[in-house]
Every structure is written in structure tokens, then in C-alpha cells.
Amino acid sequence: MPLRRLLLLGLLALAWPLPGSWGEGRAQEVQRIAAIVNDDVITVHDLSARIDLTILSSNLADSRDVRQRLAPRVLNALIEERLQMQEARRLTVVVIDSEIQTAIRRIEQANNLPPGRLMVMLQRAGIDQKALIDQLRAGIAWNKVVDKQVRPKVQIGSDEVDEVLNRIKGKAGRQEYLVAEILLAVDSPGQEDEVVQLAQRLIDHLRGGASFSALAQQFSQGVTASVGGDLGWVQKGQLSERLDAALDRLQEGQISPPVRDLGGVHILYLRDKRQVRAAGETEAVLDIRQVVLPFPRNADRATIQSRLAIARQARQTAKSCADMERLAGELNSPPPHLLEGIRLADLPPQIREVVGPLAIGAPSPPIQADDAVLLMMVCARSERDALPGRPDVLRSLERDQIELRARRYLRDLNRAAYIDIRV
């Protein structure tokens, strides 16, 4: 996903032109220039459409105050996306339509939406679909640029991997954490106060019910932004001492205050925690077939009970994983229907408690989640070493180095660019 950088300290106090507040001049206002980035123009309409998209996807309140606070950040994101696309063109990097469609489908799958539903939702909400497509195109293009220009330069030595593995093995019996993050970069000391203030506002929105995953996708500058900030399971020693200390103070489901660390300000979300196992211990790895019966988050009791009744009836006919595959098709269950190589410990606690004891080929009772009823079946079960292996540690170290170099790359593009902000 696009990496972002905060620009123009103090802009949060400015009055930005917002939808619904333009009066008679709105038609002319939408084509007014918001910013020029080298030879590209960002219009006020571009800015307004992206704010609309951010509010919808992040579950934020649609108020003038929220829009005014979002506007500088969203404009900065649009500026950096223009720089990313310009660099992609210079390197002859191309994004094809099928890649955009794949990205849209992944968003739909992550939100239990049937194919095509996302764009319909945007249309019904009055949001310009081009705002999403442009954001996805820039993200895909920048990932390709990073793969081409940055990834080949990252070299992790075996001694670095050994050091991390030894540190992890020495912490057997201690806690490990299932974590998501939002990273806000601090590119200069003068930006720190402004970035911390932004982090605190995001935390306020999160505690008010905003989606962590959606805010991470919109605001995080880390490489995990595209997966909603998900870091997976991390053990003490894999993160910095400051981040480890912040996680120690959290309970499951809590969000940290802003944590200043090398590279920026972090917001951490502790999804779950468990005890680190010793070397030689194993953990369960599953292949799971699932049927998902989605319902709106604000669904009434009758709707939820209807989904539960359908799941109970379907369960009576599910005698094998082939039956589950058939039921998923008959009930128009949104994919993915097959989850392969899933660590039992990585499943949410509510699902883990139900799926863990299941015999292979036995359907679970209906599981009511926040926005769906699930029916699950274990198709295969195996055991593997509970501690991360060398490939896991190597990928983690490579990810950190790529993230750091990619931020520097984008910062250099920004410094070399002609940027004229007009609003």
C-alpha cells in the first residue's frame, strides 16, 4: 500500500472546502486545484471523493469536524500517490485492470461481501468509484516499484537470523502477542508533535468504534498497511524494547497510546496473547472448509436468527469437506471457502474454542461472529514446530528493511518534487 508522509505542519487548523458547505459555487469549486505535483493536478473533487471513501471505509462519523481533520492527511496521501505513479511511469511499471479487480475482490473477501458488492456499495453511498480505483492502482504500482528497486538491495546475513532465533529461544515461557499496528512516520524532528496529535485523534476514533483494519489501510505507513496493519504473532525481542513494553501493558482487545520509536509513532492493537513455547514443542496446523452467511453489522435479531437457522439445517447435511464445498456454492457463501495451513492459535479465540476439538470431517455448530454466521469443518490436521523457523525470521527482517528503505525512497521523491498546495 502507499506509504504516506505528513506535510505542512499546522494545516489541521485551516478551513478546507468540504462537501455540503460550498453553497452556490460548488459546481465551480469541485474543479478547483487543490495541489500540483510536478506535472499532475489534484482537484478539490479528488480530495473530497477520497475523504468520502475514508469516512465510509473507516466507519468514522461524517461531520464537518472529522472532514476538516482528515483533509490535510488525505491530501498528503494523494500527493504521495501521484509521486508513486510518476515514479512507476518513469520505470515503465504498469498496472493492468485484472490486478485492480483482484485487489477489489480481496477487499470484498475480507469483509464477507459477494463479488461486485463493494462497487455497488460505493455507488449507493454516492462515492466516486474512481477514488478507490486510483488508490488501489497507486498501491499496486508502488509495490512493484519497491520490488524492482528496493527488494533486490536488501541482504540479510545468517548471523542476523541467528541472533533473532537465539533471542526468541531464550524467551521460552514468556508472552507472545497477536498484534496489529498503525505506523505514522516522523521524517523530521519538527513533525513529531503533529504526528503524535494525529495518532491520538486516530485512537479517539478507534475507541469510538472505528475499524482498526480500515484506519490502518488508510493511514499506516508500514508495509502491513495493505493487510490492515496485521503483524501476526510476535514474540518479545522481535519488536523494539519500547514496543515490547507497550504490549506488556495491554490486555486483549486494547489499543495502546502513541508509542514513539525508530521511524515514527506507533499505535498497537493487541488482539490476543499466549505463552511462548519451548524448542521442540509443536502446534496444530489446520486445513478448514467454511460456509459464511453474512449479515449487516446492525442486523436485527430476526435476521441473525434466520442465518443461524440456515446454518443449523446445512450442518445436518454436511458429512464431508466435499459437502461443505457444495453447501458454500448453494448458499452463495462469499470466499474464501478453503483455509489452508492455518495455525489453530492464529484463529480468533471464539472460533479457536469451537474448531480446536473438532474431529476431521465433523461440522462445527454455527458460530455467530460480528457480521456473519460461520459453519466450519476441519479437513486436515498436522503438527509443526511452535517456534518460528529461519524462513519466518528472515521474512520478518527483510520486511523491516524493505519498509525502511521504501520510506526513504519516497521521502527522496518528495524532496525532489515540485509541490504547490493551493487550498
Over range 124-137, report the average pLDDT: 92
What is the per-residue pLDDT for 297?
A: 65
What is the per-residue pLDDT for 17?
A: 39
Give CA–CA dist 51/337, Å, rounded: 33
* Chain mean pLDDT for the chain: 83
Give the H or E element holding residue 325: helix 321-330
Q: What is the CATH number of domain 282-385?
A: 3.10.50.40
What is the per-residue pLDDT for 387?
A: 67
In the chain, CATH 1.10.4030.10 covers: 11-151
Q: Higher model confidence: residue 66 or residue 243?
A: 243
Backbone CA torsion sign across 246, 248, 250, 252: positive
* Buried/exposed code over 53-64 (b: 16+ C-beta within 10 A; e: otherwise): bbbbbbebeeee
The reply to whether omega before 336 is within 30° of 0 (cis) is yes
Question: pLDDT category, 23, cuts 50, 70, 90?
Answer: very low
The answer to whether 5 and 410 are in contact (CB under 8 A) is yes
Q: What's 171-279+401-415's CATH class?
A: alpha beta
Q: How many CB atoms lie within 10 A of CB 187?
A: 20
E strands in 79-172 = none
What is the per-residue pLDDT for 403?
A: 85
C-alpha cell at 305: 436468527
What is the per-residue pLDDT for 30?
A: 56
Over range 355-380, report the average pLDDT: 90
Q: Higher model confidence: residue 265 or residue 115?
A: 265
Does the pLDDT of residue 5 top 70, yes or no?
no
Over range 112-138, report the average pLDDT: 89
In the chain, CATH 3.10.50.40 covers: 171-279+401-415, 282-385
Does the pLDDT of residue 9 top 60, yes or no?
no
Q: What is the pLDDT of residues 309-342, one digit of tens each?
A: 999 999 999 999 999 989 988 888 877 788 888 8
What is the per-residue pLDDT for 226?
A: 67
C-alpha cell at 222: 508500514
Nearest to 4 by CA among 206, 191, 261: 191
| Domain over 11-151 is classified CATH 1.10.4030.10 | yes
